[in-house]
Amino acid sequence: MSNLMPPAHPFDDDKLKEECGIFGVLGTKEAANFVALGLHALQHRGQEAGGIVSHDPEMGFNSARRFGYVRDNFTSQKVMETLPGPLAIGHVRYSTAGSKGQTAIRDVQPFFGEFAMGGAAIAHNGNITNANALRRELIERGSIFQSSSDSECIIHLMARSLQRNIPERMEDALRRVEGAFSVVAMTRTKLIGVRDPLGVRPLVLGKVGDGWALSSETCALDIIGAEFVREIEPGEMVVISEKYGVQSHFPFRRQPSKFCIFEHVYFSRPDSILGGRSVYETRENIGRELAKESPVEADLVCPVPDSGTPAAIGFSLESGIPYAMGIIRNQYMGRTFIEPTESIRNMGVRLKLNVNRALIKGKRVILVDDSVVRGTTSRKIKEMILDAGAAEVHFRIASPPTAWPCFYGVDTPDRDKLLAATMSEEEMRDHLGVDSLKFISLDGLYRAVGEAKGRDKACPQYCDACFSGEYPVIPADKIDDGFVMKAAE
Ligand code: SF4
């Protein structure tokens, strides 16, 4: 692994982590600069590495792929001058399936393929759940893989397609692929965006001047001054060119949408728009629902910063219990300890968060967090709050218990490492040592994201597999590796 990679956060292993963000621009001068800005706004979706491919009518395709943050790699004039042209796509990644812990630069997207009718570059967010089987089949038929990334399967499937143009070859390839994926791709003249048939991962369309942009989230459109046009629909492919504008196709069988409900809870930035509503507003609603479902007498509602903040505000507004910043986040921690030593690592949460003692002493405190994964951070935060003299500590969690791994492009611990997979709510309360612990119910979460009647058990409106164990796409490769699905009820 390159030593240029940013450090793993000392306690990041207690959160689910989104693995990728994608961005593309067509029809602006120096499109790669816009892509770099877009990727910077999507950095929360992946910090390990990033890449940009551009095309210029005279200079052809060019690419730059680097480990580390966008701001450290794609801000220098020297690098950006190598990426000329009016068309570019880019990708930020955490790490993709199959390469965890041993990432090579060849695994960093976008990937490029040269076909008889010209070149194409492709980047995706998500996970192909039959990638191992496809890879085996392609290798048996003579394909030579250069990376361990799922995206390369798409390039090889495109190479084998008999269709005449690249968008049609991509359609052919994606019909063979199972899983949850959003794709941005480019040819010499076209920008292409695709969402999987269930629309598990996000992708939005924006207008920037006379040109167009595709992005994982709307917050990245804002940074380049693009206007949000609409979400790409589940199963939709848009082929965008300067000549014909946006052409929409639906190459897959239409199916009910299964957007990732965790995007609302945690992954997306609070200033993004999802389903016509700001993520911030949805998180505030989650807090309100939580307060209705699980009230408790207390003196203060405090967020676990930063992701618990909107839900804590909602909880406070609904309950009438004052909101307070009982825990202060050290904004500069990540920059200060670039390579933490073991002794610093052991200081754990205290490096990042500090308790506002004067506020907490003698108070009954409700702590609102977005999720409990392993529970290690929650335990340490509880200790800090008690050390500061709190009279009682009550945890309220803005998602249901995370009891199942995600196989759709999110980094999750194995099932036996998930606290909720091995303990009941009461056992978790004992384990964390708090006065009370309550999670929002699945129905409450659905109400908060705008489904007034809650979750439709017969056909859930979202993917919620990490809570329910009901996987909308069978994780075929994982089952081959021994994963046991939940028994039908
Ligand atoms: S399993 Fe959870 S994190 Fe993964 S896509 Fe579904 S809702 Fe999102």
Both tokens assigned to 20: 């990728």
Q: Which atom of ligand 1 is nearest to the CA of 260?
A: 8
| β-pairing verdict for 111-115 and 179-186 | unpaired
Cα 404 to ligand 1 centroid, rounded to whole Å: 9
pTM: 0.93
Cα 71 to ligand 1 centroid, rounded to whole Å: 29
Cα 141 to ligand 1 centroid, rounded to whole Å: 33
Q: Are 70 and 121 in contact (CB under 8 A)?
A: no
> Does the Cβ of 418 fall within 6 Å of ligand 1?
no
Identify the bridge partners of residue 437 per DSSP, sorted by sequence position.
Answer: 395
Cα 386 to ligand 1 centroid, rounded to whole Å: 33
> pLDDT per residue over 41-88, tens digit each?
999 999 889 999 999 999 999 999 999 999 999 999 999 999 999 999
Identify the bridge partners of residue 125 per DSSP, sorted by sequence position.
Answer: 182
* Atom 5 (ligand 1) nearest CA: 260
- At residue 191, φ and ψ (nearest 5 deg) are -110, 130
370 is in an annotated binding site: yes
Q: Are 447 and 454 in contact (CB under 8 A)?
A: yes
> Does the Cβ of 261 fall within 6 Å of ligand 1?
yes
Cα 373 to ligand 1 centroid, rounded to whole Å: 13
- What CATH number belongs to 278-330+345-455? 3.40.50.2020
Q: Give kind and range of the element (H or E) at residue 194.
A: strand 190-195
Q: Which listed CATH number (3.40.50.450, 3.40.718.10, 3.60.20.10, 3.40.50.2300) goes with 17-258?
A: 3.60.20.10
| β-pairing verdict for 364-369 and 300-303 | parallel
Cα 160 to ligand 1 centroid, rounded to whole Å: 32
> Does the Cβ of 284 fall within 6 Å of ligand 1?
no
Question: What is the DSSP annotation of 280-329?
Answer: HHHHHHHHHHHHHHS----SEEEE-TTTTHHHHHHHHHHH-PPB---EEE
Cα 188 to ligand 1 centroid, rounded to whole Å: 34
> Does the Cβ of 442 fall within 6 Å of ligand 1?
no
Which has the closest alpha carbon to 113: 6, 186, 52?
A: 186
Both tokens assigned to 329: 């986040």
* Atom 4 (ligand 1) nearest CA: 406
Domain range annotation of the chain: 17-258, 278-330+345-455
Alpha carbons 365 and 404: distance in angstroms, whole number:
29
| β-pairing verdict for 353-355 and 327-329 | antiparallel
Identify the bridge partners of residue 20 per DSSP, sorted by sequence position.
Answer: 93
Alpha carbons 273 and 308: distance in angstroms, whole number:
18
Is residue 418 classed as helix, strand or coil in its secondary structure?
A: coil
Q: What number of other Cβ atoms are within 10 A of residue 391's Cβ?
A: 14
> Does the Cβ of 262 fall within 6 Å of ligand 1?
yes
466 is in an annotated binding site: yes
Q: For residue 219, indicate whether it is catalytic.
A: no
Q: Which of 418, 446, 464 has the most ligand 1 atoms within 8 A of CB, as the residue to mutate?
A: 464
302 is in an annotated binding site: no
Question: Which of 20, 153, 219, 302 does the annotation list as catalytic?
Answer: 20
> pLDDT per residue over 274-305, tens digit each?
989 999 999 999 999 999 999 999 999 999 98
63 is in an annotated binding site: no
Identify the bridge partners of residue 259 per DSSP, sorted by sequence position.
Answer: 462
463 is in an annotated binding site: yes
> Does the Cβ of 410 fall within 6 Å of ligand 1?
yes
> Does the Cβ of 449 fall within 6 Å of ligand 1?
no
Residues 442-472 as b/e (b if ≥16 CB within 10 A, e otherwise) read: bbbbbbbbebeeebeeeebbbbbbbbbbbbb
Whether the upstream peptide bond of residue 306 has omega within 30° of 0, thus cis, is yes
Alpha helices in 91-235 (DSSP H): 131-140, 151-160, 166-176, 219-223
Per-residue model confidence as pLDDT tens for the chain (489 residues): 333 333 333 345 577 776 799 999 999 999 999 999 999 999 999 988 999 999 999 999 999 999 999 999 999 999 999 999 999 999 999 864 444 456 688 889 999 999 989 999 999 999 999 999 999 999 999 999 988 888 889 999 999 999 999 999 999 999 999 999 999 999 999 999 999 999 999 999 999 999 999 999 999 999 999 999 999 999 999 999 999 999 999 999 889 999 999 999 999 999 999 989 999 999 999 999 999 999 999 999 999 988 899 999 999 999 999 999 999 987 665 543 444 455 555 566 677 788 999 999 999 999 999 999 988 888 989 999 999 999 999 999 999 999 999 999 888 888 998 999 999 999 999 999 999 999 999 999 999 999 999 999 999 999 999 999 999 999 998 999 899 998 877
436 is in an annotated binding site: no
Q: Are 432 and 367 in contact (CB under 8 A)?
A: no
Alpha carbons 161 and 174: distance in angstroms, whole number:
11
Q: Which of 19, 178, 200 has the most ligand 1 atoms within 8 A of CB, as the residue to mutate?
A: 200
Q: Are 103 and 48 in contact (CB under 8 A)?
A: yes
Identify the bridge partners of residue 124 per DSSP, sorted by sequence position.
Answer: 183
* Atom 2 (ligand 1) nearest CA: 466
Signed CA dihedral, 72, 74, 76, 82: sign only: positive
Place of tokens 């390579």: 339
Alpha carbons 220 and 322: distance in angstroms, whole number:
33
